[in-house]
Amino acid sequence: MAADSSEHEHYEAVVVGCGPGGAAAAARLADHDIETLVLERGTEAGSKNVSGGLIYGEESAPYTIDDLFEGFREEAAERPVTDYRIHNVAGNSVKTYDLRDLHEHDTEWCDAVLRRTMDSWLEKRVHEKTSETGGGVLTDVRVNGLLRENGEIVGVTCDELDPIEADLIVAADGVNSELARDAGLMDWAEPDEWFQGVKATVEMDPDVIDDRFGLESDEGVAHLFSGDLFSDVRGGGFLYTNEDSLSIGTVFHLDSLVEQRAEPHELLDALLTHPLLATWLGDEYDEREYAAKLVPDSKKVAHPEPHQGRLVLVGDAAGQMQAQGPIIKGMNHAVTAGALAADAFAVTRGNADPAAAGRRYAKMLEDSGTMDKLRPRRYDLARTVGERDVVTSVVDSVLESPIGSIAVGNPIADRLLKRAYNSPFLVSMLPDTATGYVTLPSVIGETHGKTIHWENEVDPPSLEERIGDLTYNTDVGNPHIELVDESYEASGAAVAACPVSAEEFGGGCYRSETVETNGTEETLVSLDTQPCVECGTCAVVADTEWEHPRGGKGVEYREG
Amino acid sequence: MEVAMRSIALTKGVPDFSEGAVSFNEEGHLERGKTPTVMNPNDAFALEAALQTKVRHGGHVTATSMGPPGYASVLEEAMEEVYADDTYLLSDRELAASDTWATAITLSAGLEKYIEEVAEIDLVFAGFKTADGETGQTGPQTAWAMDWPIVTHVIALDIDPDERVLRAKRLVEGDIDEIETVEAPLPCFVVTDPEFEPTYRKASHRLTHKQLRADTQERAANHEDHLTTWDHVDLNLDPDYIGLDGSPTIVSSVDPIPKAPSEREATMIDADDEEGMTELLEEMQPFAAGETG
Ligand SMILES: Cc1cc2nc3c(=O)[nH]c(=O)nc-3n(C[C@H](O)[C@H](O)[C@H](O)COP(=O)(O)OP(=O)(O)OC[C@H]3O[C@@H](n4cnc5c(N)ncnc54)[C@H](O)[C@@H]3O)c2cc1C
Ligand code: SF4
């Protein structure tokens, strides 16, 4: 190998992925005049990406996206969020709290975004910047692993290109990072370390949005939903206003989805068809796109030392996705981490130890306070002592008793609860149990709420129609996921949890089938990757060999 | 940087058959003026091969065509596709209605003039057959006129500029199942097969490709500034040997393809159905006797 390694192409830095993390890293590397090549598997940046999505500019963050990309808010973002509310739902009874205090805590600005628009805009800027260093952005290229020499990471290997060597490799390849897995830094094992997000982008005229939400054209709103509208599945819903569309979605703990055998698309439909949404959606519902993606829970998986040799992980690849109660912050942290990784490489440039940049990067994450946002020490402590479970069961039993409900239901509690919801500290401590997500909000809804009598006329598209509306460039005969164990015990959870599959639906990715052999019945699972939206769920909940499709293949999101 | 390569990509316009607006004059010649013209679809592969050469080795691509002034639009299309640096149109009323032979003479005269006045050429690329003439002769005939080696049915191409040779994978007899690798010295004529696929396995090549695309958009928008037109006087050609007068090929007539009769109804008869089979045999009798229905 050593003999032909001199023939490999070499760049000072290779950045894998052109989402917010990769874009920030590449832009900052270019600022430091470092020759930077960016490899993105989508046919255009953003074509593979999904977020809710509100992007935050945090006051305390060392970098925000508008620092790095001038004109970002004007040109790449949708509406700014000027109003922020949470709705506690119990049946048709809803209690709404103004959450502006929580939302505005440490917030310089916050805008809704659509990822195809945002990321493709970033891609152009990044290409301009990195071209000047002798590099640039290449799309339709999938990195499939790390290039090693004598056991050391020295570069990347790709489906479409010959191996490439680099002094710095930035894995900004998102939640299902194949590079983080190849390096052994992350695994895809435990469902309780992930959320699954599902989203519908809904067409709506700007004037209609202004009118229905009571907004000026330069204003926007974020509505959050929790309570019993998702049965017992732990998670919540969101609705954000874009310029000429709405982003409506749900985010659930993956372990809870699996436990309840819940169907993600049905949970989304439960939100879309709730009476509360009737006034906003009206009677003409036009869904532009259905999308889904896993989301890491930084409290559990943010890697404290996200580096190895010349490799650094940034953003979702490193698990840097903070769920601060109902507020989801992934994009902003990916930006910070990407920029810090670039700075770390710049200051350690010339150091003979190839791992110097990685160590410096981890230190910068720590010193800037980023790591403590992602993995609050408090939470880790509570988790190890098992304190969480004790607290939860006590609170649960109190809440479920009539006395408890009355206590929560009295007027003082109403004030206190609103304050508690608005406390970033309390919210980040909220244990991942049904208490915070379901019991408490529904008790609030029930006892303080107003009953909603609106008639919701929305008839959401079926899963089949949703899949039919998506754009695919299928890699015929070359499926990117292989089912290793087709028994129902090992892989059956994917039939319900896969956002484009469902029990009793033959047009999805996963199907279950009962076969009879020698008089004994057995349920088997089969897989067809054609309708796959590459969310990553089955990499965790089923026994598979999971890879991304080749560059430019698979699903192509137009909204994200 | 490696030794840069200068390529010519030959292209021509063809009537846009997709619109079904093809018209012929009284003598049975295609009336191109009344039919929208587009770039010959097969030329796209020749252009891709020229582009691959430029991306990998640097250099210059000139797109060249012979035809009426209206072909400027075809060359503009070619410029957009191949990111050509400039374009040459060999155009003259005397050159109208040439067959492939006269075209080949004219093209080789154009190439000779280019070599004399512009630069040495390393490679000439041509597509496989045109969508209208369907003869597949122009490439080989032009190569013959130039006395250059020619490699046809090329599906993949590697060039060694230092050794001045090309290595090509080609389909033997145009057969997809039989592929051979051949070597030829430069300068050389290359006819690409519709199976030709450019490959860019180096990041630097893809970056160059992307840069060329960006640069070209501007150039193609001002295509006239990059277009040179040569007529028969420029090419020093005798009208008697070119154009319609110099075209020995005569297409006697073009027959419309008869339409398959489709009004008849099909009756399904089971082989075990004795009665039905007997009826069928009776019905078929007249055909067997040589009468037609
Ligand atoms: C439903 C939902 C709602 C969310 N809401 C919010 C929100 O409101 N606010 C917020 O801040 N965050 C939100 N998030 C999370 C947020 O989307 C992520 O945290 C964020 O996108 C992470 O950025 P990243 O750059 O690390 O990764 P990504 O944005 O995922 O980018 C990774 C990039 O790498 C590319 N890639 C992957 N593998 C390869 C490969 N092998 N080779 C080449 N390229 C590759 C991908 O195509 C992609 O472009 C939400 C997520 C979901 C699913
Ligand atoms: S097959 Fe797997 S990766 Fe694809 S959509 Fe379903 S769960 Fe997600």
Q: Contact A9/B202, CB-based, under 8 Å?
A: yes
Residues of A308-318 as b/e, b for ≥16 C-beta within 10 angstroms?
Answer: bbbbbbbbbbb
Please compute, for residue A64, the number of CA atoms within 13 A of its CA located in the half-sphere on the CB side.
20
Residue B8 has a pLDDT of 96
B203 to A160: CB separation less than 8 angstroms, yes or no: no
For residue A428, pLDDT over 70 is answered with no
Q: Which residues pair with B228 in a beta bridge?
A: B88
For an interface test with A, give the residue of B199, B206, B209 to mutate (most A CBs within 10 A): B206
Rounded percentage of chain B residues whose pLDDT exceeds 70: 72
Residue B175: Cβ within 10 Å count = 9
pTM for the model stands at 0.88
Instruction: Name the β-bridge partners of A5.
Output: none
Q: Do B201 and A162 touch (CB under 8 A)?
A: yes
Which of A113-117, A481-485, B24-28 comes out lowest in average pLDDT? B24-28
pLDDT at B286: 60
Please report, rounded to a whole number, the percentage of residues in chain A having pLDDT higher than 70: 91
Q: How confident is the model at residue A403 (pLDDT cuts 50, 70, 90)?
A: low
- Contact assessment for residue A175 and residue A314, using Cβ atoms and an 8 Å cutoff: no
Q: Is residue B158 part of a domain?
A: yes
Closest Cα in chain B to A8: B202
Expressed as residue numbers, the domain containing B153 is 5-241
How far apart are the C-alpha atoms of A306 and A170, rounded to whole Å? Answer: 11
Q: Which of A211, A281, A239 is nearest to A457 (CA)?
A: A281
Pocket of ligand 2 (CB under 6 A): A 481, 494, 498-501, 509, 532-538
Interface residue B119 vs chain A (CB under 8 A): no
Confidence band of B41 (pLDDT split at 50, 70, 90) = confident
Mean pLDDT, chain A, whole residue set: 92
Ligand 1 centre distance from Cα of residue A174 (Å): 5
Q: Is A280 helix (H, G, I), strand (E, B) or coil?
A: helix
C-alpha to C-alpha distances, B148 to B6, B109, B152, B167, nearest whole angstrom: 15, 14, 13, 16
Is the pLDDT higher at B155 or at A428?
A: B155
Residue B130 located in a structural domain? yes
Largest CA distance in chain A: 77
Contacts 24+ apart (CB under 8 A), B212-219: B212/B51, B212/B54, B212/B55, B212/B83, B213/B83, B215/B83, B216/B79, B216/B80, B216/B83, B216/B84, B217/B80, B219/B79, B219/B85
**Cα A471 to ligand 1 centre (Å):** 19
Atom from ligand 2 closest to the CA of residue A294: 8
Which residue has better confidence, B275 or B289? B275
Contact B201 A160 (CB under 8 A): yes
CB contact under 8 A, B203 and A164: yes
Q: What atom in ligand 1 is closest to the CA of residue A23? A: 25
| Helix residue ranges, H only, B131-232 | 138-146, 203-221
Interface probe, candidates A14, A144, A160, chain B, greatest B C-beta count within 10 A = A160
Q: Is A110 helix (H, G, I), strand (E, B) or coil?
A: strand
pLDDT in tens, A490-547: 999 999 999 999 999 999 999 999 988 888 899 999 999 999 999 999 999 999 999 9
Residue A19: name the closest of A136, A121, A107 by CA. A121
Tell me phi and psi for residue B80, to 5 degrees: -65, -40
Rounded to an integer, what distance in angstroms lies between the CA atom of residue B26 and that of residue B161? 51
Q: Which of B204, B208, B212 is best to mutate for the A interface (most A CBs within 10 A)?
A: B204
How confident is the model over B157-215, as pLDDT tens digits? 999 999 999 999 999 877 778 899 999 999 999 999 999 999 999 999 999 999 999 88
**Bigger pLDDT: A254 vs B15:** A254
CA of A141 to the centre of ligand 1 (A): 17
Chain A nearest-CA distance from B202, in A, is: 6
In a domain, B22, yes or no: yes
Give the model's pLDDT for residue A120. Answer: 98
Tokens of B88: 């040459």
Q: Kindly list the distances between the CA atom of residue A216 and the CA atoms of A104, A211, A278, B74, B265, in Å, as whole numbers in the listed order.
A: 20, 9, 21, 50, 67
Give, in order, the Cα–Cα distances in Å from A72 to each of A112, A270, A498.
12, 34, 34
Check the CA dihedral A400-A401-A405-A407 and report its sign: negative
Candidate from A131, A136, A161 with C-beta closest to B201: A161
H helix intervals, A15-174: 20-31, 65-68, 72-75, 100-104, 115-131
Residue A553: pLDDT band (50, 70, 90) is very high
Distance A503 CA to ligand 2 centre (A): 14
Q: What are the pLDDT digits (tens) for A462-487? A: 999 999 999 999 999 999 999 999 99
Residue of B nearest to A37 (CA): B203
pLDDT at B288: 55
Domain membership flag for residue B124? yes
Residue B287 in any domain: the answer is no
**A9 touching B, CB under 8 A?**
yes
B206 interface with A at CB cutoff 8 Å: yes
Mutate to test the pocket of ligand 2, among A199, A265, A480, A535 (most ligand atoms within 8 A of CB): A535
**For every residue of B232-246, which 3-state class applies, written as one string?**
CCCCCCCHHHCCHHH
pLDDT (0 to 100) of residue B257: 41
- Give the CA radius of gyration of chain B: 24
Rounded to whole angstroms, how far apart are CA atoms A347 and A352? Answer: 13
Place of tokens 């598209």: A461
Residue positions counted in chain B: 293
Kindly report whether the peptide bond that precedes residue A53 is cis, defined as omega within 30 degrees of 0: yes
- B2 vs A197, higher pLDDT: A197
Q: Greater confidence, A255 or B281?
A: A255
* Highest averaged pLDDT of the listed ranges A355-359, B74-78, B260-264: A355-359
Residue B112, domain CATH: 3.40.50.620
Mean of the pLDDT values across residues A127-154? Answer: 98
Q: Which of B202, B210, B211 has its CB closest to that of A161?
A: B202
Section A141-170 average pLDDT: 98
Residues of B in contact with A136 (CB under 8 A): 207, 210-211
So what's the pLDDT on residue A427?
A: 65
B284 pLDDT band, cuts 50/70/90, is low
Identify the residue with better confidence: B43 or A78: A78
Out of A50, A537, A548, mutate this one to test ligand 2's pocket (max ligand atoms within 8 Å of CB): namely A537
Whether A359 shows a pLDDT value over 50: the answer reads: yes
Taking contacts as CB-CB distances below 8 angstroms, the residues of chain B near A164 are 203
DSSP A415-436: HHHHHHHT-HHHHHH--SSHII
As a whole number, mean pLDDT of residues A59-88 equals 97
pLDDT of residue A29: 98
Nearest to A37 among B201, B203, B211 (CB): B203
Domain count, chain B: 1
Which are the contacts of A468, defined by CB distance < 8 A and separation ≥ 6? none
* Residue A243, token pair as written in the block: 């310029």
Does pLDDT of A113 surpass 70?
yes
Is the distance from CB of A103 to CB of A25 less than 8 angstroms?
Answer: no
Q: pLDDT band at residue B101, thresholds of 50, 70 and 90?
A: confident
Confidence band, pLDDT 50/70/90 cuts, at residue B248: low
Query: CA–CA distance from B85 to each of A79, B114, B255, B268 (Å)?
Result: 44, 14, 42, 63
CB contact under 8 A, B204 and A9: yes
Q: What is the CB-side half-sphere exposure of residue B10 using CA atoms within 13 A?
A: 28
Look at residue B1 in the predicted model and tell me its pLDDT: 46
Is A39 in the B-facing interface, judged by CB distances under 8 Å? yes
Task: State in Å: Cα A539 to ligand 2 middle.
Answer: 8
What residues of chain A, 164 to 183, have a C-beta less than 8 Å from chain B? 164
For A341, the enclosing helix (H) or strand (E) is helix A331-348
**Tokens representing A158?**
């790709």
List of chain B residues whose C-beta atoms are within 8 Å of the C-beta of residue A160: 201
Ligand 2 center–CA B216 separation, angstroms:
40
Q: Does B201 touch chain A (CB under 8 A)?
A: yes
**How far apart, in whole angstroms, are the C-alpha atoms of residue A338 and residue A168?**
12
Segment B272-279 mean pLDDT: 71
A299, A379 Cβ separation under 8 angstroms: yes
For residue B259, being part of any structural domain is answered with: no
Any domain includes B252:
no
Handedness of CA A319, A320, A323, A324 (dihedral sign): positive
Token pair listed for A289: 């796109």
Residue B200 distance to chain A (closest CA, Å): 7
Highest-pLDDT range among A31-35, A414-418, B23-27, B73-77? A31-35
Residue B61: inside a domain, yes or no?
yes
Q: Return the residue matching tokens 């939400």.
A: A213
DSSP for A179-221 reads HHHHTTS-----GGGEEEEEEEEEE--HHHHHHHHT--TT--E
CA distance B242 to B232: 9
Does the beta carbon of A200 lie under 8 angstroms from any beta carbon of chain B? Answer: no
CB contacts of A135 in chain B (<8 Å) are 207
Q: What is the pLDDT of residue B60?
A: 95
Distance between CA atoms of B202 and A164, rounded to whole angstroms?
Answer: 9
Res B245 pLDDT > 70? no
Q: How many CB pairs under 8 A join A and B?
A: 28
State in Å: Cα A472 to ligand 1 middle: 19
Cross-chain Cβ contact B202/A162 below 8 Å: yes
- Interface residue A16 vs chain B (CB under 8 A): no
pLDDT of residue A436: 75
**What is the residue type of A370?**
T
